[in-house]
Structure 1
Amino acid sequence: MSSHFLSNSPSTPTTKASDRQNDTSVSLPSTSTSSSISPDMWNYLWIPFLISLSKELTLARSATAITSPSILLPSQLVDDSPSAPRCPASDTNLNYRPVIGILSHPGDGASGRLNNATNASYIAASYVKFVESAGARVIPLIYNEPREILFEKLNLVNGVLFTGGWAKTGLYFDTAKAIFKEVLARNDAGFHFPVYAICLGFEILTMIISEDNQILETYNATDQASTLQFMENISIEGTVFQRFPPVLLKKLSTDCLVMQNHHYGISPQRFQENEHLSSFFEILTNSADEDNQVYVSTVQARNYPVTAFQWHPEKNAFEWGLSMIPHSEDAIQVTQHVANFFVSEARKSLNRPPARRVLDNLIYNYSPTFCGKAGKGYDEVYIFAEPETPNNTRCAVHGNCHGRVKL
């Protein structure tokens, strides 16, 4: 092996000075000469490169040590003995398996295009997803079921949601009123039982509490994105807005982050003039319709876990048929914060019915129907329509009860 390959210094040249002076011709080195010089050239190239690389790595390690503290595993921070607790104990005052009852609405949600049975009712899937996104499950409260079955289902849930829609009279109104009165009675008896009322739900509660079925006024607020204007000197502590980041709260009043879709509402003046309403609810926000007419848009009960929205918090994340539904990241955060507050209130309910009865009545016993191809209205709906026979008032003890309570 040539010693030149291992040497750290170039070989001593042997050509005489006189030879270099007299030799004026230029010629390429022979193959043997090239092989003997090449290793030395590699030494010249690699050694400075390695030295430079070593310096760069040293500087990088020094900078990392200064700017990034060492990352320690949890076992290096706390006692790693077998007796050390790994997770905090659950709060026994909270229910971590809450269930929400959603009242169905007459029809199929698609003007009879999906199911034109006279006893059909539906729940838009967006309300179900809204509840599920915050960590709860859903039991459908079918509005035209026998009252005893409906109230048996109320014993299986930890809160109730009244949806949007159009029905303000007849059996639907009577059923909603009966459920709401029962909810208030349970809260009065010391059983925490929250309610959310959205759009039509807001309007129905306004009618029930005011004891005036003609109290609503007409507004031009269909398929409209809008802001929420907070009442002056309002405290959001304990309200649906309490967990909103300050930046998002400000954007609610400046950016159109909520969706309105209603023909009716109530002005702040008329609301405050009705003693029943003003003593039961506190106004949190107002909004304006397309004609700049102001209406009450969010209220919360003073002494009950009841919140009502004239707007649609569920649509931002889960509906796509209407053109003015906000879908920005801020709008999605609004949906999530509103859902989280509702389910956090439901967790305060200590009602814990038998798991088997809950499973028999969950909305998972039904399948949603896709109806979004029409380009308007709801994207998905759950439809409830059963044969109108005397035997359907009671569910058999055995077999799938199609979401009914087993009596």
Structure 2
Amino acid sequence: MVNGVLFTGGWAKTGLYYEVVEGIFKKILKKNDAGDHFPLYAICLGFELLTMIISKDQNILESFNATNQASTLQFMENTQIEGTVFQRFAPDLLKKLSTDCLVMQNHHYGISPERFEDNQNLTSFFKILTTSADEDNKVYISTVHAHSYPMTAFQWHPEKNAFEWGLSMILQSEDAVQVTRHVANHFVSEARKSLNRPPAQRVLDNLIYNYSPTYCGKAGKGYDEVYIFT
């Protein structure tokens, strides 16, 4: 029924949620190994879970002070962006990512470049695209891209700029919204390469439009609309 997977942010690093994410990840690897281009995006908690799964180390994550923080992305030296999520970005916007706080961070855990490089499972699977610094100026990896799979993991929130309006540290400038749009468009373009073609009626039956969102913007928490499934 799907042409790609998104692992979202959240809090559950253990238990059933971890097991389900690990199972889905293995299926994504299998589909790509079989020749079906099947993309994966992993954001925040998704980044953390992938790091734990791929490294085969439940304790690899480190503590960082990056809660509700507007931040920059610092590109690694000689980073090749062709074929990555950043290939759609205009040169001036790429530069602004490094100089202006266009992205929002909201996490307590991450992984430093040093610890990443010490784990062969991680270095053989991912290449580092960007790093960021937390409130204490500790550097952590903020974007990685798989060497051999259409997978990108973000330890920042590309989705928030265009959709969450209640928090001051989430920028809604034209440049910030462009970041959200480019990241989303890249994922859609990758999903279009998938060979999966589900029946049209099944797609219609499962579209989000079958459900009605609830407006909760007055609460001032950042979420203007939510879907409540019971």
Superposition TM-score, scaled by structure 2 size: 0.97
Tell me if structure 2 keeps the 8 A contact 1:165–1:199. yes
Equivalent of 1:228 in 70, 73, 77: 73
* Cα separation, 2, equivalents of 1:338 and 1:187: 21
Shift of 1:373: 2.1
Residue of structure 1 in register with 2:156 after alignment: 311
Q: Please tell me the residue identity of whatever aligns with 1:260.
A: Q
How do residues 108-147 of structure 1 correspond to structure 2 at under 5 angstroms? none
Structure 1 residue matching 2:179: 3-state secondary structure: helix
* Cα separation, 1, equivalents of 2:23 and 2:222: 28
* Cα separation, 2, equivalents of 1:371 and 1:170: 30
Q: State the structure with more CA Rg.
A: 1
* Cα separation, 2, equivalents of 1:373 and 1:218: 33
Shift of 1:360: 1.2
How do residues 151-230 of structure 1 correspond to structure 2 at under 5 angstroms? 156-230=1-75
> Comparing both structures, which one devotes a greater share of its residues to strand?
2
Question: Are 1:294 and 2:139 matched, yes or no?
Answer: yes
The number of equivalent residue pairs is 230
Structure 2 residue matching 1:316: 3-state secondary structure: coil
Residue of structure 2 in register with 1:29 after alignment: none
- If asked which structure has higher relative contact order (CA below 8 Å, sep 6+), I would say 2
* Cα separation, 2, equivalents of 1:174 and 1:291: 33
* Cα separation, 2, equivalents of 1:285 and 1:310: 10
Structure 2 residue matching 1:262: 3-state secondary structure: strand
* Cα separation, 2, equivalents of 1:346 and 1:304: 13
* Cα separation, 2, equivalents of 1:371 and 1:202: 28
Tell me if structure 2 keeps the 8 A contact 1:223–1:323. no
* Cα separation, 1, equivalents of 2:37 and 2:210: 27
Tell me if structure 2 keeps the 8 A contact 1:160–1:195. yes
Residue of structure 2 in register with 1:30 after alignment: none
Structure 1 residue matching 2:21: 3-state secondary structure: helix
Structure 2 residue matching 1:299: 3-state secondary structure: strand
Shift of 1:243: 1.5
* Cα separation, 2, equivalents of 1:193 and 1:225: 31
Q: Please tell me the residue identity of whatever aligns with 2:203.
A: V
Residue of structure 2 in register with 1:138 after alignment: none
* Cα separation, 2, equivalents of 1:175 and 1:370: 30
* Cα separation, 2, equivalents of 1:371 and 1:212: 39
Shift of 1:321: 2.4
Please, which runs of 5 or more residues in structure 1 have no aligned partner? 1-155, 386-407
- 1:317-371 deviations in Å (ceiling 9; x for gaps): 1111222001111111111111111111011112111101111112222222222
Question: Are 1:337 and 2:179 matched, yes or no?
Answer: no
* Cα separation, 2, equivalents of 1:332 and 1:365: 27
* Cα separation, 2, equivalents of 1:212 and 1:229: 26
Residue of structure 1 in register with 2:214 after alignment: 369
Q: Please tell me the residue identity of whatever aligns with 1:318.
A: F
How do residues 236-255 of structure 1 correspond to structure 2 at under 5 angstroms? 236-255=81-100
Alpha-carbon RMSD across the aligned residues, in angstroms, is: 1.0
Structure 1 residue matching 2:109: 3-state secondary structure: strand
Structure 1 residue matching 2:3: 3-state secondary structure: coil
* Cα separation, 1, equivalents of 2:22 and 2:222: 26
Tell me if structure 2 keeps the 8 A contact 1:267–1:295. yes
* Cα separation, 1, equivalents of 2:58 and 2:224: 31
Q: Please tell me the residue identity of whatever aligns with 1:359.
A: L
Could you list the structure 1 runs, at least 4 aligned residues long, displaced by more than 6 angstroms after superposition. Answer: none
* Cα separation, 1, equivalents of 2:223 and 2:206: 24
Identity, in percent, stands at 80
Structure 1 residue matching 2:83: 3-state secondary structure: coil
* Cα separation, 1, equivalents of 2:160 and 2:82: 25
Residue of structure 1 in register with 2:193 after alignment: 348
Shift of 1:377: 4.7
Please, which runs of 5 or more residues in structure 2 have no aligned partner? none
* Cα separation, 2, equivalents of 1:169 and 1:370: 31
Residue of structure 2 in register with 1:108 after alignment: none
